[in-house]
């Protein structure tokens, strides 16, 4: 009887560890979605594909250029930040004055374009990112993890803290918040809103890119790897409140934990459905999301 | 360019955009057949491997002068249509190929495309050749449905027996199996069939967890299965997700063997995993895994041409094409699906192929023997009662 109890608590700890790892990845992408939505009012679906590009950048940097995994992480952030700037400048900026649906459609179109681009250029084969941390096993309170999984969580948390400091204490961060609160007001105060949009896109894309580079060694890298991630990131953004970065972080971990604990206590078969069940419940009770401002 | 030519080009281009298929109208004496396969999206890797096999066969036949049907020479032309691994797209492809291109035969590498097309292949009059392993494919009384792979109903019993024989021979006690079941038609039917055969052989199934093939983290499933201490983990799908499951199960401390279906070819799996993780994985393999001169030559030619490793489905696409063309020659007609279907058993009996495929029956099933492939030390070997 005692053995059985110990077994159950070990599974519980293992599932919590699983949930936190997945939640960290979700949160990274959801933060990007929330920031970009806050500043530009565009639901940026293509962030899923950008996570995929981040994975490929890390793959090529480690496999072809023989860089260390840390360099690959940094590389994926830089490359994706540049891509984010480009997308803002050449795709979203010309649409600023167009009806919101155009931004929505172009974001969705970008996802398809990026995925098929990856399919044509990188091929359909799955790639394995070699990370030195993927072979080291550690045991935390009875849960078995690879170092890589721990690294995912630690880097995600570090990035969240860094983003928080940036948004709260720097002039640029304050400007981003100002534009998110009131675009016209910010413009009247002399804030270059287009430049702010560019910076936001660069940061959001870099976060997605590093998420892809982090999950790469855990799973694998392939053209459609961003699909599930972006769907979950959107559920999280709605759950946390559209535009709320804090909501995205909390929502990410809530979703990760619900998925893995639901898998344990209810059924693994419905693991992916839990996200949507939670979404339905939250929308029914609190339509503005957990941390969203209500618009009345 | 005349006006009508230009008009045709524009029409052709717009159809290409709408349906993803387009070929120029050329002179007569061309035998066209359709191929509905994923060329983009998540299953593109698999679909392109199938397409490559077909291209190789067509090239070979055309180089040798094409097909001789009723005393006339025909150039062979496959018309490919991308179904993105979606049933609705497969229906569009099937309708388009039969209506516009008037094909009398369509090949597809999946149940997912085969089943919806069975809804109209008899009315539209085309032979539907599919590599569907699902028993239902030939159980629905479709007179123009032909399977060119194994029917799991027929092969699972002997195959599981062979798996057990292999374990016994190597002194391993493998009785408790846990199943990781992918949420597709084939995944479920394969897992059910396996469970039946496994328990009949004296084994037990101690747990089952289902998953989505597009998922990337399988820790939640594995964390519920592994505490029951299974001797083996059974997988039911293509290599890529299987490789991730294997990797993550090894991380969580699982040391036993994995047992997987033919959806994953050994060479592919070995490429995806380091040796210490892939070691001890058993796969369902066709006779194509044996090292015989013709088979090795095919694999080498494929690798040289496409710069990637051939998968089982590439070989199947290649042999399926040869079989179809031979059937058309035997039938002596190019535009009558019923006659082509009627000629298929005879055509197959004279066709030496890499899978020892033989004896097409009334229902549309063929003999397609399956053996046990074993990954060990970064190489695949085959167990067929005696190790080869």
Task: Return the pLDDT at B22.
Answer: 44
Mutate to test the interface with A, among B52, B221, B223 (most CBs of A within 10 A): B223
B212–A contact, CB cutoff 8 A: yes
Supply the angle between the helices A147-169 and A193-218 in degrees, to the nearest 10.
Answer: 170
8-state DSSP, B226: G
Cβ atoms of A92 and A44 within 8 Å: the answer is no
CATH number of the domain bearing residue B169: 3.40.50.2300
Task: Return the pLDDT at B16.
Answer: 47
Of A144, A143, A155, give the one whose Cα is nearest residue A58: A155
Strand order in the sheet with B204-211: B204-211, B176-182, B232-234, B258-260, B281-286, B370-376, B379-383
d(CA A187, CA A178) in angstroms, rounded, equals: 9
Mutate to test the interface with A, among B219, B228, B303 (most CBs of A within 10 A): B219
One domain for residues B320 and B273: no
Question: Based on the structure, what is the number of domains in chain A?
Answer: 1
B115 inside domain: yes
Q: What tokens appear for A87 in the block?
A: 């997308």
Nearest to B219 among A18, A225, A227 (CB): A18
Measured CA distances, A34 to A37, A38, A148, B147 (Å): 5, 6, 26, 50
B15 inside domain: no
Cβ atoms of B84 and B19 within 8 Å: the answer is no
Of B73, B68, B94, B72, give the one whose Cα is nearest residue B83: B94
d(CA A34, CA A203) in angstroms, rounded, equals: 11
Cβ atoms of B85 and B110 within 8 Å: the answer is yes
CATH number of the domain bearing residue A268: 1.10.3470
Q: What is the dihedral of CA A13, A15, A20, A26, to 10 degrees?
A: 180
Q: Is A296 exposed, middle or buried (0-12, 13-18, 19+ CB in 10 A)?
A: exposed
**Chain centre to alpha carbon of residue A194:** 23
d(CA B66, CA B197) in angstroms, rounded, equals: 45
Q: Would you call A271 and B45 a contact, using CB atoms and an 8 Å cutoff?
A: no
B196 inside domain: yes
Give me the DSSP letters along B182-215: ESSHHHHHHHHHHHHHHHHTT-EEEEEEEE-TT-
The tens-digit pLDDT sequence of chain B (388 residues) is: 444 555 555 544 454 444 444 444 444 589 999 999 998 876 788 899 999 999 999 999 999 999 999 889 999 999 999 998 888 999 999 999 999 999 999 999 988 899 999 999 999 999 999 998 888 899 999 999 999 999 988 899 999 999 999 999 988 899 999 999 887 777 888 899 999 999 999 999 999 988 876 677 888 889 889 988 999 999 987 788 888 899 999 988 899 999 998 878 787 888 888 888 889 899 998 888 888 899 999 999 999 999 888 888 999 999 999 999 999 999 999 999 999 999 999 999 989 999 999 999 999 999 999 999 999 888 888 998 765 4
One domain for residues B260 and B364: no
B146 inside domain: yes
d(CA B116, CA B76) in angstroms, rounded, equals: 26
Chain A: give the shortest CA distance to residue B195, in Å.
Answer: 18
Chain B: give the shortest CA distance to residue A49, in Å.
Answer: 13
Radius of gyration of chain B (CA): 22
Give me the DSSP letters along A49-62: HHHHHHHHHHHHHH
A257: phi then psi, degrees, rounded to nearest 5: -70, -40
B9 inside domain: no
Q: Would you call B44 and A272 a contact, using CB atoms and an 8 Å cutoff?
A: no
Q: What tokens appear for B159 in the block?
A: 């195959």
Task: Return the pLDDT at B8.
Answer: 55
Task: Work out the number of other CB atoms within 10 angstroms of the CB of residue A16.
Answer: 17
B228–A contact, CB cutoff 8 A: no
Q: What whole-number percentage of chain A has pLDDT above 90? A: 50
Q: Would you call B272 and A128 a contact, using CB atoms and an 8 Å cutoff?
A: yes
Q: What is the mean pLDDT of residues A247-259?
A: 92
d(CA A255, CA A26) in angstroms, rounded, equals: 8
Measured CA distances, B265 to B29, B277, B284 (Å): 38, 16, 8
Cβ atoms of B200 and B157 within 8 Å: the answer is yes
Supply the angle between the helices B3-19 and B87-100 in degrees, to the nearest 10.
Answer: 160
One domain for residues B158 and B282: yes
Task: Return the pLDDT at B15.
Answer: 47
Cβ atoms of B41 and B59 within 8 Å: the answer is no
B2 inside domain: no
One domain for residues B226 and B158: yes
Q: What tokens appear for B241 in the block?
A: 């997700």
Residue reference for tokens 């028993």: B135
Residues in chain A whose Cβ is within 8 Å of chain B: 7, 10-11, 14-15, 18, 21-22, 116, 119, 123-126, 128, 137, 144, 146, 215, 218-220, 222-225, 227-228, 259-260, 263-264, 268-269, 271-272
Q: Would you call A227 and B209 a contact, using CB atoms and an 8 Å cutoff?
A: no
One domain for residues B375 and B248: yes
* Helix/strand/coil for B256: coil
One domain for residues B143 and B247: no
d(CA B368, CA B359) in angstroms, rounded, equals: 9
Helix (H) or strand (E) holding B258: strand B258-260
Question: Based on the structure, what is the number of domains in chain B?
Answer: 2
Of B278, B270, B111, B256, give the one whose Cα is nearest residue B182: B111
B40–A contact, CB cutoff 8 A: yes
A291 inside domain: no
One domain for residues B121 and B211: no
Query: How many residue pairs from chains A and B have C-beta atoms closer than 8 A?
Result: 85
Residue reference for tokens 């490429």: B271
A292 inside domain: no
B229–A contact, CB cutoff 8 A: no
Q: What tokens appear for A245 in the block?
A: 């970065």
Task: Return the pLDDT at B23.
Answer: 46
d(CA A208, CA A199) in angstroms, rounded, equals: 14
Task: Return the pLDDT at A170.
Answer: 95
Closest chain A CA to residue B217: A219
B131 inside domain: yes
The region, left, alpha or beta by phi > 0 then psi within -120 to 50, assigned to residue B76 is beta
Q: Which domain holds residue B321?
A: 21-151+293-368
Question: Which chain B residues touch A18 with a CB distance below 8 Å?
Answer: 217, 219-220, 223
Q: Would you call A21 and B252 a contact, using CB atoms and an 8 Å cutoff?
A: no
ipTM of predicted assembly, 2 dp:
0.76
- Checking if the pLDDT of A195 tops 80, the result is yes
B251–A contact, CB cutoff 8 A: yes
Q: Which domain holds residue A56?
A: 2-285
A135 inside domain: yes
d(CA A233, CA A222) in angstroms, rounded, equals: 19
Q: Would you call A227 and B244 a contact, using CB atoms and an 8 Å cutoff?
A: no
A296 inside domain: no
One domain for residues B128 and B31: yes
One domain for residues B68 and B158: no
Q: Is B271 exposed, middle or buried (0-12, 13-18, 19+ CB in 10 A)?
A: middle
DSSP bridge pairs for B336: none
Task: Return the pLDDT at B63.
Answer: 94
Task: Return the pLDDT at B312.
Answer: 87
One domain for residues B194 and B314: no
A295 inside domain: no
d(CA B158, CA B135) in angstroms, rounded, equals: 16
B184–A contact, CB cutoff 8 A: no
B275–A contact, CB cutoff 8 A: no
Angle at A282 between CA A45 and CA A165, to 5 degrees: 60
One domain for residues B198 and B308: no
Cβ atoms of A255 and A15 within 8 Å: the answer is no
d(CA A33, CA A204) in angstroms, rounded, equals: 7
A127 inside domain: yes
Of B116, B134, B139, B117, give the one whose Cα is nearest residue B126: B117
Cβ atoms of B104 and B127 within 8 Å: the answer is yes
B13 inside domain: no
One domain for residues B310 and B335: yes
């Amino acid at each position: 009887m005692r053995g059985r109890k110990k077994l159950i608590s070990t599974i519980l700890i293992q599932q919590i560890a699983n949930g936190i790892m997945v939640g960290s990845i979700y949160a990274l992408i959801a933060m990007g979605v929330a920031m970009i939505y806050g500043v530009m009012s565009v639901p940026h679906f293509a962030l899923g594909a950008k996570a995929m590009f981040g994975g490929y950048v890390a793959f090529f940097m480690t496999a072809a250029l023989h860089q260390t995994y840390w360099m690959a992480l940094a590389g994926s952030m830089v490359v994706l930040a540049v891509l984010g700037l480009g997308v803002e400048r050449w795709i979203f900026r010309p649409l600023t004055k167009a009806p919101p649906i155009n931004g929505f459609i172009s974001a969705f179109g970008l996802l398809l374009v990026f995925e098929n681009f990856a399919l044509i250029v990188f091929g359909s084969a799955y790639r394995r990112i070699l990370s030195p941390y993927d072979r080291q096993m550690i045991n935390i309170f009875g849960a078995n993890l690879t170092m890589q999984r721990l690294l995912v969580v630690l880097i995600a948390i570090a990035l969240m803290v860094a983003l928080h400091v940036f948004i709260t204490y720097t002039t640029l961060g304050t400007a981003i918040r100002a534009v998110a609160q009131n675009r016209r007001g910010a413009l009247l105060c002399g804030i270059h809103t287009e430049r702010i949009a560019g910076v936001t896109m660069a940061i959001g894309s870099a976060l997605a890119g590093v998420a892809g580079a982090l999950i790469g060694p855990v799973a694998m890298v392939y053209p459609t790897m961003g699909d599930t991630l972006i769907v979950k990131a959107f559920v999280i953004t709605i759950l946390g409140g559209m535009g709320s970065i804090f909501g995205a972080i909390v929502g990410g971990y809530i979703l990760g934990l619900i998925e893995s604990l639901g898998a344990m206590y209810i059924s693994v078969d419905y693991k992916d459905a839990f996200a949507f069940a939670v979404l339905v419940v939250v929308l029914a009770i609190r339509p503005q999301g957990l941390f969203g401002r209500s618009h009345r | 360019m005349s006006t009508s030519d230009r008009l045709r080009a524009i029409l052709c281009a717009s159809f290409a955009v709408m349906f993803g298929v387009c070929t120029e109208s050329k002179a007569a004496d061309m035998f066209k057949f359709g191929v509905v396969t994923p060329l983009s999206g998540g299953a593109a890797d698999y679909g392109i491997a199938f397409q490559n096999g077909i291209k190789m066969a067509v090239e070979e036949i055309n180089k040798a002068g094409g097909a001789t049907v009723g005393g006339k020479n025909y150039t062979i032309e496959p018309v490919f249509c991308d179904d993105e691994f979606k049933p609705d797209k497969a229906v569009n492809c099937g309708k388009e190929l039969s209506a516009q291109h008037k094909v009398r035969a369509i090949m597809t590498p999946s149940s997912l495309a085969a089943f919806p097309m069975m809804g109209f292949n008899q009315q539209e009059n085309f032979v539907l050749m599919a590599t569907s392993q699902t028993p239902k494919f030939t159980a629905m009384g479709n007179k123009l449905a032909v399977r060119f792979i194994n029917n799991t109903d027929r092969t699972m019993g002997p195959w599981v027996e062979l798996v057990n024989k292999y374990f016994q021979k190597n002194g391993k006690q493998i009785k408790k199996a846990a199943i990781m079941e992918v949420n597709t038609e084939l995944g479920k039917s394969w897992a059910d069939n396996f469970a039946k055969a496994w328990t009949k052989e004296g084994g037990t199934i101690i747990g089952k967890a289902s998953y989505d093939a597009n998922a990337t983290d399988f820790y939640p499933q594995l964390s519920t299965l592994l505490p029951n201490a299974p001797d083996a983990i059974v997988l039911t799908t293509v290599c890529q997700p299987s490789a991730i499951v294997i990797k993550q199960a090894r991380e969580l401390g699982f040391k036993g063997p994995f047992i997987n279906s033919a959806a994953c070819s050994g060479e592919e799996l070995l490429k995806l995993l380091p040796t210490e993780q892939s070691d001890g994985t058993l796969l369902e393999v066709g006779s194509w895994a044996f090292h015989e001169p013709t088979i090795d030559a095919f694999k080498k030619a494929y690798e040289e041409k496409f710069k990637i490793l051939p998968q089982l489905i590439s070989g199947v696409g290649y042999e399926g094409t040869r079989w179809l063309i031979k059937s058309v020659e035997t039938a002596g007609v190019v535009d009558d699906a019923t006659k082509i279907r009627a000629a298929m058993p005879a055509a197959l009996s004279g066709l030496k192929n890499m899978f020892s495929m033989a004896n097409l029956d009334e229902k549309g099933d063929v003999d397609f023997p399956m053996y046990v492939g074993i990954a060990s030390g970064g190489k695949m070997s085959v167990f067929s009662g005696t190790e080869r």
